């Protein structure tokens, strides 16, 4: 079984689960944490049963794709309005603990800033890349809106574990991997500008385009193995 963790409004996640029915994909929404009788014990199995309607053991979960940065108040509209932010925050804390304890593949692995991997500001991504030895495009901030410089992105590389999708040169692949590893991000899209043999890092984002068949296939391979990907390619 593959679990896709998403916010209720994420129509892309629902479509992805529909496409992955043949590998037993199921969607997990924050509201499922409100199931009657739900409980969580660190190191126990109760959490997984509750997450999937109380009928599946955690050992049956082959992989988890995280499509949400946090549970949102809009995920718990059945809760009194004044309590929604609190409930959403508590759900996020639970999901952080649960995802961190899973032994199966998790894309992306949660961090203190997001359930879906590092959620960094542009300057923080540049700092991470620079520390990894990757040339970066400096950012200048100004109170004058007209003086804001817009980066010119010419290359987009998505890193799925150790695979670089969209890299048109070895230098692009090497630098995209270096940024991903320095940020401890297993699923991230990186943006570059400049020549293929000497690309300059511009930005990164852990929200990847899963409508891209290559990215979707690579993610599925990590979550449930190469066999599933080969089955998907059979006409």
pLDDT digits (tens, 9 = 90+) for 5-27: 999 889 999 999 999 999 989 99
- Mean pLDDT confidence for 81-97: 92
Q: What is the pLDDT of residues 184-234, one digit of tens each?
A: 999 999 999 999 999 999 999 999 999 999 999 999 999 987 544 444 444
Q: Are 182 and 128 in contact (CB under 8 A)?
A: yes
- Residue 40's alpha-carbon distances to 101, 127, 185, in angstroms, are 12, 37, 27
Q: What is the pLDDT of residues 33-84, one digit of tens each?
A: 877 655 666 665 555 555 555 455 666 788 999 999 999 999 999 999 999 9
Q: Are 27 and 15 in contact (CB under 8 A)?
A: no
pTM of the complete model: 0.83
Q: How many CA atoms lie within 13 A of 161 on its CB side?
A: 14
Q: Is 43 left (phi over 0), alpha (psi -120 to 50) or beta?
A: left
The pLDDT value given to residue 232: 47
The pLDDT value given to residue 54: 43
The pLDDT value given to residue 51: 55
Q: Is the pLDDT of residue 181 over 60?
A: yes
Helices (H), the chain: 11-19, 46-51, 84-101, 122-131, 170-183, 213-224, 226-233
Which of 218, 163, 190, 216 has its CA nearest to residue 13? Answer: 216
- Name which residue leads in pLDDT, 36 or 163: 163
């Amino acid at each position: 079984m593959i679990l896709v963790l998403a916010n209720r409004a994420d129509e892309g996640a629902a479509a992805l689960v529909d496409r992955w029915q043949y590998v037993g994909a199921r969607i997990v929404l924050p509201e499922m944490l409100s199931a009657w009788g739900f409980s969580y014990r660190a190191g126990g199995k109760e959490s997984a049963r509750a997450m999937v309607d109380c009928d599946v053991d955690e050992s049956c979960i082959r992989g988890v794709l995280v499509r949400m940065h946090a549970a949102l108040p809009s995920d718990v509209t059945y809760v009194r309005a004044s309590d929604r932010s609190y409930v959403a925050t508590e759900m996020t804390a639970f999901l952080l603990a649960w995802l961190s304890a899973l032994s199966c593949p998790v894309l992306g692995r949660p961090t203190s800033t997001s359930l879906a991997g590092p959620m960094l500001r542009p300057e923080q991504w540049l700092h991470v890349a620079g520390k990894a030895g990757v040339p970066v495009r400096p950012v200048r901030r100004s109170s004058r809106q007209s003086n804001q410089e817009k980066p010119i992105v010419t290359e987009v590389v998505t890193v799925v574990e150790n695979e670089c999708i969209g890299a048109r040169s070895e230098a692009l692949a090497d630098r995209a991997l270096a940024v991903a590893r320095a940020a401890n991000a297993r699923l991230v899209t990186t943006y570059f500008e400049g020549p293929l043999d000497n690309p300059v890092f511009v930005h990164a984002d852990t929200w990847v385009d899963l409508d891209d068949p290559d990215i979707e296939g690579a993610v599925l391979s990590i979550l449930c193995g190469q066999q599933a990907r080969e089955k998907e390619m059979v006409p």
